[in-house]
Structure 1
């Protein structure tokens, strides 16, 4: 599969290998890169493509969550089957521990040209191998970094990968970091040959996961895609979320049930607890902290000039939210080859589901787009709500969050195919502004189908917002 939208990441990897090659007589020419990102985002495939195109001698080892002894044995097999010179040494003398394995590996790395060593799913080793971080740190400082090698460490457990390089841990400041995100809406649109509005729809349903996007026939519309994928029991659209969750929460039933409750649309602590089976406050707190730590769930507060306690939760990945809402509860009917029933259910619930799911994506689009000639950039772009929802503002730009000193702009989102933002919508926005501030804060509208109201400071549609994603992003930056 072509790496659509990954040119920047491939270029960054190539530049880092170039630094290794150009280190000359440096005592420690080696470089280390830590890559993290959600499961099935394409981290391993990206690195595999880079290694293949580089032509450098390399070894690629993927941990599997087995025992420390079995992982060590498999590491030896990976080295023995690699393209490193003298790799047969691992066949003749299998190392007895990870310290010996890294020392033996360093002895195989060329001195006169760069090589690449990849260790995938590093969090498994951190979890199963005693003192793995310290072992890795010593091996890097004493042996590996003294060779012209690019060491790439990959992990899907985001919190553990962040911890690996954090202050006070053995590997602190020994590697650069790359965060690999999904394909963004512009990349999805380019890959699938879609207009701007349809690209946002596709980005939500696929989550920008390359494997799911690859199943979307270029030029096909949303309903063609869903009609094909929801009648295929082995479609990536169906199985990707299930496999990711099984890996993320192999033994945490409470986290899985809380995630299902949030994915079904529950947003408040009380309602989530009820939907998750009436679990206790302590259990729910632990589960939401786990989900937030893995970046699967966001716990958000309204942005305003006065404090609020009205925390709400949402699933951060729109594909996972789609799967939890429309697919997970109906997998049995899909397995009975009645995916047509599922498609019809999506049709009936699509407008409501999309209306809420698209809001965070559009807010991020706006944050990336600003400043322009109408509005300033805002350090914080979020939303506002009250407990009763009597006042809801879709877009709030402020100088900080959640308690702002200054509100920079307020806005409303109307994302319907045949209904523009009109004077009635503007009146509602003005009324809500008056409920939270006496200031004449600028007003904006984000609309899929245009704007007929007058008196707004700025308006934005799909074509303008998609351009925000064509600018260089922070994702993948070293």
Structure 2
């Protein structure tokens, strides 16, 4: 069996829920609503948990077919499950979801725990009439009375959130669980990489297990890219397209807006221009959809004064890389000229990485602090003006986007052989003066170290990676 890397916190959560099933009386059933982007490894996580748990289980994955087709698939999953009385469900052959849930409750063990997994729940919400109400009634009347852990899993983040929202039938019946990408520390362990290269790998792979699995242990960025670009069906090349096809099968305008943001445009006006001069109302609908799907992040600068200077970025760094360097040149790669694409990436890599790594560094600091003179910060973001005459990479504050108090300001310098020096510190002092008169602590994150005094905090790849090892 392949060594399962990471997900320690998630596995603890699942085992804890199963322990509550074992020890609870009355209505011992527990439900977890697990959500995470496509190809993030949710199913693999559940499979590993089921392997470790060793209890009777049924794992059903919806496929997006009709209600009747999904019901047939459920019965097929039951036939290969480890539920002791699964034959009863197969013999009864229920012809609707109400009956199927009632029969499922009957075949679940009464005196020992079991696990029932329904994967890709949003397909059922979309295709089965009144599915949420049917599920709610089945849970309240039948399933929750059994010692069962019900895992409802989905990739459509907004629909999974809606399942548990107020005034929806299943509200507050499940505990929400978000599965994110593999952390930089997970990537470092899985691929046997030094901290600096681990951050590079986290950006390129997005922490997606399928892509990480194709990265040879100990290989550097250019070895990995050379191998991936030489294989037209490598996970790096095909994962993003498959995810987008599943998420936006008919929304052509959303794809155009995504390409514009992926090309590096960050403001509303520039995105509209890059997307072909589309109308602002059309762009608003497209960006709202992309933000709702968590594909795009829409951010405001953090400061003590309100701002309307919203900026957009691709939330997943792997998708960001694919849109910037790979999608525009897929025909070139498909005719086995990935060498041309690789040369283009090498030319733009330093600039692309310098901006792409900023959100990851902010998240690292949020996990790492408090440390020394730097306090913990409820909000860690950035600051900018419309003209970009003042741009601060790191802003720690008591809240966002309008803060009552700024806790620290900082700069990111993520170059191979150039340290954060006195010139960088002078620029940071100048930008701090433009934002506040207070002597707010200053911090630097640098790939190649710090060669000046005067900072209240300095972090390199090793320290930042350590923030992700705490879990």
TM-score with structure 1 length normalisation? 0.96
- Following TM superposition, by how much is the alpha carbon of 1:49 offset from its aligned partner in structure 2, in angstroms? 2.0
Counterpart of 1:91 in 2: which secondary structure? Answer: helix
- 8 Å contact from structure 1 (residues 60, 82) kept in 2: yes
- The residue number in structure 1 matching 2:238 is 239
Query: How far did residue 7 of structure 1 move?
Result: 2.5
Map residues 227-306 of structure 1 onto 2, 5 A cutoff. Answer: 227-306=226-305
Equivalent in the alignment of 1:67: 66
Aligned residue for 2:407, secondary structure, equals: strand
* Alignment partner, residue 334 of structure 2: 335
For 1:7-27, what per-residue CA distance to the aligned partner results, in whole angstroms no more than 9, with x for missing partners?
A: 33223222322222233xx23
Residues 80, 89 of structure 1: 8 Å contact kept: no
Residue 80 of structure 1 deviates from its aligned partner by 2.5
Shift of 1:86: 2.7
Q: Measure the CA separation in 1 of the matches of 2:192 and 2:366.
A: 25
1:36-76 per-residue CA deviation (whole Å, 9 max, x = no partner) reads: 11110110111122223322221111001111121112112
Give a deviation string over 1:317-376, Cα, whole Å, max 9, x none.
100101111111111111111111111111111001001100111111111111111211
Q: Which residue of 1 aligns with 2:183?
A: 184
| Aligned-partner Cα distance in 2 for 1:370–1:78 | 46
The answer to whether the 8 A contact 2:42-2:179 is kept is yes
- The residue number in structure 2 matching 1:149 is 148
Q: Distance in 2 between matches of 1:19 and 1:444?
A: 44
Match of 1:5 in 2: 6
Distance 1:235 1:344 in 2: 18
Q: Deviations over 1:404-434 (max 9, x none)?
A: 2221111111110111111111111111111
For 1:306-321, what aligned pairs fall within 5 Å after superposition? Answer: 306-321=305-320
SS where residue 171 of structure 1 aligns? coil
Aligned residues: 470
Distance 1:177 1:402 in 2: 26
Moved more, 455-464 or 199-208: 455-464
Once structures 1 and 2 are overlaid, which stretch shifts more, 449-458 or 296-305?
449-458
Residues 117, 150 of structure 2: 8 Å contact kept: yes
Per the alignment, in what secondary structure is the counterpart of residue 377 of structure 1? coil
C-alpha contact 2:380 2:396 (8 A) present in aligned 1: yes
Q: Secondary structure at the match of 2:281?
A: helix
Other-structure match for 2:427? 428
Q: Which residue of 1 aligns with 2:355?
A: 356
Question: SS of the counterpart of 2:377?
Answer: coil
**SS of equivalent to 2:408:** strand
Cα deviation, residue 3, structure 1:
2.0
- The answer as to whether partners of 1:413 and 1:445 remain within 8 angstroms in 2 is yes
TM-aligned CA deviation for residue 249 of structure 1:
0.6
Runs of 4 or more consecutive aligned structure 1 residues displaced over 6 Å after TM superposition: none
RMSD: 1.2
What is the SS of the residue equivalent to 1:34? strand
Distance in 2, matches of 1:424 and 1:220, equals 34
| CA distance in 2: counterparts of 1:393 and 1:369, whole angstroms | 20
2:439 and 2:281 mapped to 1: Cα distance?
A: 43
Q: CA deviation at 1:378?
A: 1.5
* TM-aligned CA deviation for residue 153 of structure 1: 0.5
Structure 1 gaps of 5+ residues are: 473-478
Tell me, what secondary structure is at the counterpart of 1:88?
helix
Inter-partner Cα distance in structure 1 for 2:141 and 2:125: 20
